[in-house]
Amino acid sequence: MLYELATYAYWIAFCGLLMASAVYVLEITRRRPTSFPYGRILLLVSWLALTASIGLSSVYHGGTLLSGSNVLVLLTWAIVLSYLIVGCFMKLPRYGAIFVPVAAMLLFVAQIIAPVRGNFAPYPELISTQMDSAMIGYHVLLITFGNAFLLIGSLTALLYVYQSRALRSKTPPQFLKSLPPLANIERLWIRVLSVGLPIYFAGQVLGVTRAIAVDAQGWFLDVRIVLSGLILIVFSLVLFLYYRAKTDNVLTAWMTLLGAVLITVLMVLARTLPTGFHIFGVFN
């Protein structure tokens, strides 16, 4: 019964994200956007449904699964929550036309790679003592939220590059009238990175601390560990160049997109490579 309820809640969340995506895309094409927050309400309902799905599944399995497609589900949950918080405080609803479809796509991919168990992949049967710690759960949670913020910041950087180039053209597209000012995009991009990077770093510290505690041989040679450190370096360099070196924003934005590519590569490897310290990353 719990599993069926979790599956129903999952599909409610997915359909809600699809409808919210349509609303947000429609809003940016209107000359006079509606004042009633249809998109935000749909997004909030979708997040609540996804929260219920994750919670019911956790009760059914005796814990939150951290394998296979479940990481994508958790990442979607973190992205939607992050956007709800950012959109509430910064009053920038048009970004929903980017972030909400991305969240819906992640849930769709999660469903594809775990067709047998609905929206949750089977849990690995062999879990070593390396995973037997609450620290691992916090490590994954922080990394998930860090990835969510860093990816949102990267998508905003992509929008910054597009708008800055379009503004310099002789015939700017009419679509630009629906976008926030370039300064607002820049502010959101940097602020989101400034929040996401410390969260990501904290998740790394917990993971490394656990690896050292269990004396996992050669954990620092795991390609996922190396990529994780490279991601931290790239985004740290982005913030350094922006705040200290005053580098051209377009160049800094491209470096942010490079960091997003590295995150994407790491997320793929973490779900396909069967070796290394990250047992929860085994693809099922």
The CA distance from 94 to 24, in Å, is: 7
Q: In the prediction, which pLDDT does 247 show? A: 74
Binned at pLDDT 50, 70 and 90, residue 232 comes out as very high
Provide the terminal-to-terminal Cα distance of the chain, rounded to the nearest Å. 24
Q: What is the pLDDT of residue 73?
A: 85
**Top mean-pLDDT range of 18-22, 96-100, 126-130, 245-249:** 18-22
| Residue 245 scores a pLDDT above 90 | no
Per-residue pLDDT at 255: 92
Which residue did the predictor score with more confidence, 212 or 177?
Answer: 212
**Residue 32: per-residue pLDDT:** 58
**pLDDT computed for residue 122 by the predictor:** 43
- Give residue 238's pLDDT: 92
Q: Which residue has the higher pLDDT, 185 or 216?
A: 185
Average pLDDT over residues 188-207: 89
Supply the pLDDT for residue 280: 45
What is the model's pTM?
0.65
pLDDT digits (tens, 9 = 90+) for 252-278: 999 999 999 998 888 777 666 655 455
What pLDDT, on a 0 to 100 scale, did the predictor assign at position 93? 56
Domains of the chain listed by start with CATH number: 1-126 (1.20.120), 127-277 (no CATH)
Question: Residues 16-59: pLDDT tens digits?
Answer: 888 888 888 777 666 555 656 788 888 899 999 999 988 888 78
Query: Does 226 or 167 have the greater pLDDT score?
Result: 226
Tokens at 89, concatenated:
């405080």
The pLDDT of 60-73, averaged and rounded, is 72
Task: Using pLDDT thresholds of 50, 70 and 90, give the confidence band for residue 70.
Answer: confident
The secondary structure of residue 242, as a DSSP letter, is H
Q: What is the dihedral of CA 120, 125, 128, 129, to 10 degrees?
A: 70
pLDDT of residue 123: 46
> What's the rounded Cα separation, in Å, for the pair 122 and 35?
44
d(CA 11, CA 146): 25
At 168-177, the pLDDT tens digits run: 766 655 555 6
190, 175, 195: which is closest to 98 by C-alpha? Answer: 175
Separation between Cα atoms, residue 108 and residue 142, nearest integer Å:
23
More confident residue, 248 or 128: 248
Say which residue, 93 or 73, is predicted with more confidence: 73
Mean pLDDT of the 119-147 span: 64
pLDDT at 62 over 80: no
Contact 55, 18 (CB under 8 A): no
